Chains A and B, each alone.
Chain A
Amino acid sequence: MDTPLRIDPAEALAEINRFQRKLAAGLQNLPGMAEPEYANTPRELVYAEDKLKVWHFTGTRPTARTPVLIVYALVNTVWMTDLQADRSLVRNLLEQGEDVYLIDWGYPDGADRWLTLDDYLNGYLDRCVDAVRHRHGLDAINLLGICQGGAFSLCYTAMHPDKVKNLVTMVTPVDFHTPDNMLSHWVQQLDVDRFVDVMGNIPAALMNWVYLTLKPLRLNQQKYIGLVEILDNPAELENFLRMERWIFDSPDQAGEAFRQFIKDFYQGNKLVRHDLSIGGRPVDLGLIQQPVLNIYAQQDHLVPPDASRALGKHIGTQDYTEIAFKGGHIGIYVSGRAQREVPPAIHRWLRARD
């Protein structure tokens, strides 16, 4: 009888042997290894408030007249955009001639438990935008929103249209009810009020665990079996550990903002139902007239492509561009392809509208 397995027992034993030897040799490289640093592209602090900081990247002479402010998600840290020297969205944008700022939201603690989306968007973000505008003497600047930060940027642009010149969104969820959105599926019957009342701020470890359970085998096990293959390669090992640092060194979520985001975005899908208001201000995507560049990842398991592409149906502007990136939610920042394709595309689009 035919069989799909042609594994010789002796060869199987040899395979186990090889794996164990590689593991044994590689593990010796781990003790004493320093914490891998991020790219740390030179930057200056231009604004700070509570725990957030606005950084301006320096060292190059920008050719762009209008600066771009990166608005990252509240989950994980913004340093994904400047992970390492050869995998840095920030560095690549600078090399293209952009003048780059970014918001580091910081790590919320108990004192931030009551921060709402209104506090984040009409408070923090608005003051960050003002700080950059006044630095450059401009009425409006460019925003580059990433993931949840993209949703925030859309809301902000709808509420403060005079302060945004061009808007770039990356892997940004807009329609939260697409059938392949696992995260959204799981929270539909969550009693968010009780959840936040009990938890207060939502621990980063819990958030990470939820993300890992989206692909439990791949992310909890297969990834680390792959690690054994690179344990004896210091450069690749360092890259792996740096990514581990980024994944797990993440902030807690301010309770009230989390409550609102889950209720209004994930459960209510109000962004596309034109039923969203933040701090009493209506948020209508149909009123956004600024040029919008929407970049999504085709293999995104956190923000499915359809969730991002929905923006095209709901945005008011006539100047709407969509770019599909062949990769995943993280690969869009750190893969080799991303370095070659994404920053130049953003720069070309912005330059045509500068």
Chain B
Amino acid sequence: MADQASEFVRQSQAMAEQSWSQWMRYLQQAAGQPTSPMTGFGMPGMAGWAGMPGMSAPAAPMSDMLERSLAGISSYLEWMQRAATAQAAPVAPSTDWQAAMKDMFGAAGQPFAQAFEGIDSTAAQGFVQQWQAWLAAAGQAGATDWRTPSYMPGFGLHREQQSKQQALVAAMMESAEQQRRYQALILKANAAGLERLQDRLADHIEPGRQLESLKSLYDLWVDAAEEAYAEIALSDEFREVYGAMVNAQMCERQLVQAHLEDLCRQLGLPTRSEIDSLGRRLQEVRRELRAIEGGAVNGELAELRAELQALRKAQPVAAQTHSGGTPAARAGSGKLKEKTKVGARATPEAAPKKRAAPKRASAKSATKAASAEKARSGKAAAKPSTASPVAAKDSRKKRTASRVRRAAAVKSGAGSRRTLVSPGIPAPHRARRK
């Protein structure tokens, strides 16, 4: 029986290693890449899903990318092999299936651990690891061991530099510590998943409900492990540790960035901070332009419209006051009348559906009225109290028309009256329509 089991294990290992190597060779050749030696299912070079694509890790050659892409499948194969071996062992599983489960889902190399490998490598780790490696190398080369720093006050010219370096080392240690806490929780989830699996398997003991394939066992384990993980991931402890780990990584990365920026400045290179400043200013300017194009002028126009509307309503009363009131009252009422009339020609509310030709005619009328007003302006100015009502009205008309035109010019950027007809259309859209 023992010989049988050994033979079984030998066969399965040989087959697995052979077929995996063949697949990888085939894919690498298909991708035009040289083959790389594999070490079977252990694959020390395959760090699971660690090393985020597109993050700080250097671009991986095709063979490495393939290995990473297929890591989940290879670790599943590895697990199947282990599970099959455990089933074939002479003492398992009939005597103690719980012990057999532990063999199958042992911590070493089990797929759950692999799935989580690199879970904390996002964003900062790969980048920061390079610094840690550099510092470790510096320590080996004779410098102080960065892992056991003690604070040393700095003096003189190098005080700031020393202070920054010490802060960076402290941040790295803090990041490593938070990462260790996080990994401890992942291991806890791992163990909890296995316990849950055993509970679930207990429901499958009776004949007819037993599991007969490795895949069914694997699927049951995934369900159990995900449940256990979710429970821990929703715990207060996990929330605290997760936040602390990310915050520590960001702190570390921030200090590394600052260090690099110092170097860049010394080399005369632009820095991220400087580019960010420019970007921020540019975005602020864009917002201000938008506000000028849309909000501010539209607001002014809206105020004008509201004012004109109110004046229109007040017109009959104003006219009555003009004929029989005091000079001051007359001046005020004249203003009301003028705004109402000019507004009736120049604002979209007054002529919302008019086409270009009437608008041009309206503009010409305004120009003629303005010329006439110019010719009469001396008299009107010299004798304001005795000026004819028509002249006074034209003068006020001109002032208001000019005000509306100015507002329209600012809004359109080119003084186009067309923008008054469609004040709500955003600028880029309007541009395309033209």
Contact = CB atoms under 8 A, between A and B. Distances in A.
Whether A associates with B in a native complex is yes
A215 interface: yes
Contacts of B320: none
A194 B76 CA distance: 39
Interface in B93-110: 93-97, 100
A131 B429 contact: yes
A20 interface: yes
A20 to B, nearest CB: 5
A113 B93 contact: no
B146 interface: no
B107 to A, nearest CB: 15
B422 A206 contact: no
A contact face: mostly helix, strand, loop, or mixed = helix
A258 B198 CA distance: 42
Interface stretch (B213-221, B354-362, B405-413): B213-221
A199 B210 contact: no
Interface stretch (A23-31, A145-153, A340-348): A23-31
Contact of B210 (A4, A49, A214): A4
B239 A216 contact: no
B73 A23 contact: yes
B211 A19 contact: no
Contact of A220 (B49, B213, B282, B425): B49
B173 interface: no
Interface string B370-402: 000000000000000000000000000000000
A12 B87 contact: yes
A182 interface: yes
B267 interface: no
B281 to A, nearest CB: 9
A198 to B, nearest CB: 5
B54 A205 contact: yes
Interface stretch (A92-100, A168-176, A184-192, A329-337): A184-192
A206 B100 contact: no
Contact of A9 (B72, B87, B230): B87
Contacts of B70: 224
A11 interface: yes
Interface stretch (B131-139, B243-251, B305-313, B340-348): B243-251
Interface residues of A, number: 73
Contacts of A352: none
Contact of B72 (A189, A195, A220): A220
B292 interface: no
Interface residues of B, number: 96
B363 interface: no
A312 B255 CA distance: 46
B426 A7 contact: no
Interface string A212-229: 011111101110110010
A2 interface: yes
A24 B242 contact: no
B contact face: mostly helix, strand, loop, or mixed = helix
Contact of B122 (A7, A30, A209): A209
B55 A205 contact: yes
Nearest to B20: A20
A217 B31 contact: no
B54 A134 contact: no
A185 B5 CA distance: 48
Contact of A4 (B80, B205, B250, B287): B205
A9 B88 contact: yes
A228 B73 contact: yes
A34 interface: no
Contacts of B112: 217
B144 interface: no
A320 to B, nearest CB: 29
Nearest to B119: A213
Contacts of A134: 422, 424-425, 429
A199 B429 contact: no
A48 B429 CA distance: 8
Residue of B96, B240, B276 with most partner-chain A CB within 10 A: B276
Nearest to A132: B429
Interface in B321-363: none
A15 interface: yes
B15 A17 contact: yes
A111 interface: yes
Given A4-B201, A217-B229, A203 B242 contact: no
Contacts of A188: 239, 243
Contacts of B119: 209, 213, 216
Contact of B15 (A20, A185, A228): A20
Contacts of B76: 221, 225
A286 interface: no
Given A182-B234, A189-B242, A224-B72, A5 B54 contact: no
Contacts of B202: 4
B165 interface: no
Contacts of A232: none
A16 B16 contact: yes
A200 interface: yes
B157 interface: no
A282 interface: no
Contacts of A224: 70, 72-73
Contact of B215 (A15, A182, A190): A15
Interface in B230-269: 230, 233-234, 238-240, 242-244, 246-247, 250-251, 253-254, 257
B319 interface: no
A147 to B, nearest CB: 21
Interface stretch (B22-30, B147-155, B296-304): B22-30
5 contacts: A1-B97, A4-B205, A19-B80, A119-B287, A123-B287
Given A190-B246, A198-B257, A225-B73, 16 more contacts: A6-B210, A9-B8, A12-B88, A16-B16, A19-B80, A20-B19, A31-B30, A111-B279, A113-B280, A134-B424, A185-B239, A187-B243, A190-B247, A216-B116, A221-B72, A222-B219
Instruction: Return the 6 tightest CB-CB contacts between A and B, nearest first.
Output: A189-B243, A31-B30, A4-B204, A114-B283, A12-B84, A221-B72
